[in-house]
Each structure stands twice: as structure tokens, then as C-alpha cells.
Structure 1
Amino acid sequence: MTPAVTVDCGAVLFDMDGVLVDSSGVVERSWRSWARRHGIAESVVMPLIHGRRALETIALVAPHLDAQAEWQVLIRQELEDTEGFRAFPGAAALAGSLPLDRYAIVTSAPRSIAVDRLRRGAIRVPAVMVCAEDVSRGKPAPDGYLLAAERLGVPAGDCVVVEDAAPGVQAGLAAGMRVLGFTTTQPAEAMGAATWLVPDISCVRAGEPVADGVRLTLTTPRR
């Protein structure tokens, strides 16, 4: 059995979808419907949807469309469709065990969807949450993670990012942070140079409080 790993940091910065909540069915149904409506092959769209803001995905696959208008359509679809949605087991307990000034959520989702999904999953809404509207560049740019660290007052290099998709891993590393990757959405080989890999949030525990920070224990780490 792989020994557990202890990680000390100043703050934990969570992605949301694929990390705290399982919204994959909702997101994928929404994008497939959108692709069919515009006559775009799903094989072109689907590999690009995880970890990115919808604005960036639309710009990549359909630059001729009004990305803001199309984004609003996708938001409405995802707010109305909750079939199969769930919080990952252990997510609410882990978030609830962390000091409010020591964790944040950095998501590519708009704030309306982020708050709705956290509340549906009975996950505490943190004091610091950076959403799609809060940055001019989404993941894989580091802007969201750097903004979260700034708002928490924690040096970027003392933060640990928790991600499930390659663009988010790239964003965390570009911000100078360590990255804990989950293989809930993409396979391990897609997670690039993530510092650690575990299957999901059930493998993460909050340890005893440490001075000016958080202690996490990772069970069954792959590296």
C-alpha cells in the first residue's frame, strides 16, 4: 500500500466541478445540445469543455458566434438541468473542516452556477470565490488562482491547488503553486506535472491545525 502523504500549506484553492461536485452529466448534455444546435461536431467540442470557461471554448470552436450571448444560453441550460448532479462524498465535510480564511474556490463556472451547485451539494460557500466573471483570462492562465491567493492574503507559493482537468493543473503550476490532481474527469496522464495525484476527494483529509495554515493528509497517492 502506498503510504499517506502529509501536505502543509497556507491555503487550499479548490476547483469546483469534478473536485467538489459531480456535474459532468449536466455539463456534457448542455454542450452536446449546443454543438448540435450550431452544427459543430461533438468530437471537436467535447475535448475542450472541461476546465475552461465557456467563453474560451466557444471562441476556440466557433469564433464567428457571439460568445457572450451563447454563454448565457449555456448558463440557463445548466441551471435548469440537475439530473445526476451530486456532491462528491466527503466534499462537504472537508470544506466545512477548513478555516474560512484558509480556503477558496476558483472555478470556470459563472457565479450563479457555482453558488447553486454548492448549495445543492450542501457545501459551505467560502468567503473567497473566484468565478468566470472575475478574471479576464480563464484557465490555463493563472489569473484566477493568483487572485484567490491575493484575496486570502496568502503567498502564491504557499497555496495548494486542487484540480481535475489539464487546464486547471496548468493554471495552478503557472501561478507558482503546488497542485493536487484528481482523476475524476481526466486520466492520470492528462494531469501533466501535477505535484500529487489521487483518485478523488475521499482520499483527502484535513489534519490537525497548523500555525498560519492547513495540514492535509493524502491517502493512496499515485505520486
Structure 2
Amino acid sequence: MSLPASTAQQTLTCRAVLFDMDGTLVDSTAVVEQVWSEFAVRYGLDFEEILRTSHGVQAIDTVRRFAPAGADVFALASELGAMERVRTEGILALPGAARLLAALPGDVVALVTSADRVLADIRMAAAGLQMPATAVTAELVSRGKPDPEGYLKAAALLGAEPAEALVFEDAPAGIAAGLAAGIRTVAVGPNTGPLPDGVLHIADYSSITAEVDADGPGRPVISFRL
């Protein structure tokens, strides 16, 4: 269970830290809205409804939901992906994200994103962030968020049980995925939607600190002050 939301500073301790990318580490809102707007106009889709429901969800799932009847969903998703990969202007790291990532040992961190690996590499680089050695991208899961598969896989790759991990997420679909995985989940930023009971919310990482220690057997223990 997540800790109760509160304005008071809290400490969360874990052995594995799982980050979503877009909206959580990387502010790509302008690019995402630009690409989807152009795509929606091109195919006569409802742009406002796409924006309302697509945040944090794999592009293929959104295309499948909104594509015209009889359309080649995979061809459309490929076209959308090609558009996304050449748009990097305005992509930034969330405040404090670079500092926080640099403070964490590489073997306790994973990226869990609905983007594919090519797009994830592009956006992380555009934001000036180091790609974690462990990354669960769209092509590595059979079911995208809000399914918990990606977060469960990332925790396992880091050798952590769900109860030992911590998720940072910005989108309702991702928050639902973290909670469904049985992982404590911290909501980030302004686009989380109504939060489930017990989910802590932060604006960004500006005031967060992380301390790394080790237990008796020498396994890392990360303490976050939020």
C-alpha cells in the first residue's frame, strides 16, 4: 500500500526505484501534443479525446482505439512513431530529475515506459538524462499500462520484490499499473488525475533527497525524503 498523501515531508525506503519517462522524468508535453494534433487532423480523429485518454498508454493501444474502421493499425502506429522520433525541440528534464538519477546506484534503477526503446533513447538524450541500464520499453511487454506487467518485470530484473520497490509515475494509467503490481507509487506532476487513496503526490524532484545505505548482507537501501 502507498503511504497516505500529505503536505508534510515523508521518508520512503526501498531497494529498487522504477521511473516512468514522459511526464515523470521528461517533460515532452509540447512534442506529444503537436504530434498527436497533426496525426488527428490527418486521419480525422478526435484530438481532444485522444489527449484525454492517451497519457501514459502505449501509442499502439491509442491508435487501435481511435483508428478509422478498416485501417492498418500497425502501419498507423509506425507512422506516428516516425513523427515522434524527429521531434525533440522543447523536451526538458523535470526539475531535480538529473540530480536525483545521478544520486542513485545504477543497479537499483529502472525505466518503465510506454515508449519503444528508440524513442526512449531519443527523449532521454534530448532531456540530458542518462538512460538507466535497466529499461523496460514497449516492445518488451505483451500488455501495456495500466497492466502491471512492465513494473513487475522491472522489479524482477533488479532483483527486488514488489514490496521492496518504489514507482514514480505521472499518468493515471501508469499509477494504476504501479498499484496493480503491488508497488508503492508516487504521483508526479499536474496530470495524475484523481489519485487513489494512499498515493503520495509531488510536483517534481526539486526538494527530494535520496540517501543510499546498505543492510547487513550488503544490499542497497535507498531512503527518499519527499
- Alignment match, 1:109: 115
* Counterpart residue number, 2:51: 46
- Asked if the contact 1:104–1:129 (Cα under 8 Å) also holds between the matched residues in 2, the reply is yes
Q: Is the Cα contact below 8 Å between 1:180 and 1:194 reproduced in 2?
A: no
- Report matched runs for 1:52-63 at 5 Å: 52-62=57-67
The corresponding residue for 1:192 is: 196
Native 8 Å contact 2:24 2:189 kept in 1: no
Structure 1 spans left out of the alignment, 5+ residues: 219-223
- % of aligned pairs identical? 40
1:221: which partner in 2?
Answer: none
Contact 1:21 1:88 survives alignment (8 Å): yes
Equivalent in the alignment of 1:176: 182
CA distance in 2, matches of 1:209, 1:201: 20
Q: Distance in 2 between matches of 1:136 and 1:37?
A: 29
Q: Which amino acid aligns with 2:210?
A: A
* Separation in 2, partners of 1:168, 1:194: 15
Q: List structure 1 segments (4+ residues) > 6 angstroms apart after TM superposition.
A: none
Answer whether contact 2:95 2:204 (CA < 8 A) is retained.
Answer: no
Relative to the length of structure 2, the TM-score reads 0.90
Q: Separation in 1 of the partners of 2:93 and 2:104? A: 17
1:37 partnered with 2:42? yes
1:25, distance to aligned residue in structure 2 (A)? 0.5
**TM-aligned CA distance change 1:145 to 1:41, over 3 Å:** same
SS in 2 for 1:207: strand
SS in 1 for 2:30: helix
Q: Please say if residues 187 and 200 of structure 2, whose CA atoms lie closer than 8 Å, have aligned partners that are also in contact.
A: yes
> Aligned AA for 2:202?
V
Preserved CA contact (<8 Å) 1:55 1:71: yes
Q: Show the counterpart of 1:217.
A: 225
Partner Cα distance (2:102, 2:151) in 1: 21
Say how many residue pairs are matched: 216
> 3-state SS of the aligned residue for 1:203?
coil
TM-score between the two structures when normalised by the length of structure 1: 0.91
The reply on whether 1:74 has 2:80 as its aligned counterpart is: yes
**Counterpart check, 1:10 vs 2:18:** no
Shift of 1:122: 2.1
The aligned counterpart of 2:98 is 92
- The letter for the 2-side match of 1:23 is S
Give me the whole-angstrom Cα distance separating, in 2, the residues matched to 1:149 and 1:23: 25
Counterpart-to-counterpart distance in 2, 1:208 and 1:156: 19
1:161 is matched with 167
- Alignment of 1:83 with 2:86, yes or no, is no
The 1-side partners of 2:73 and 2:104 are apart by 37
Letter paired with 2:16: A
Q: Tell me how far 1:202 sits from its aligned partner.
A: 1.8
CA offsets per residue over residues 35-74 of structure 1, 9 Å max, x none? 1111112122111221100011111222633222112111
Q: Equivalents in 2 of 1:9, 1:29: separation in Å?
A: 37
Per the TM alignment, residue 193 of structure 1 is displaced from its structure 2 partner at its CA by 3.8
2:24 is matched by which residue type in structure 1?
V
Q: Deviations over 1:97-149 (max 9, x none)?
A: 11111110000011101111112222121111000111010000000001101
Alignment CA distance shift 1:63-1:8 (3 Å): farther
Q: Which amino acid aligns with 2:79?
A: V
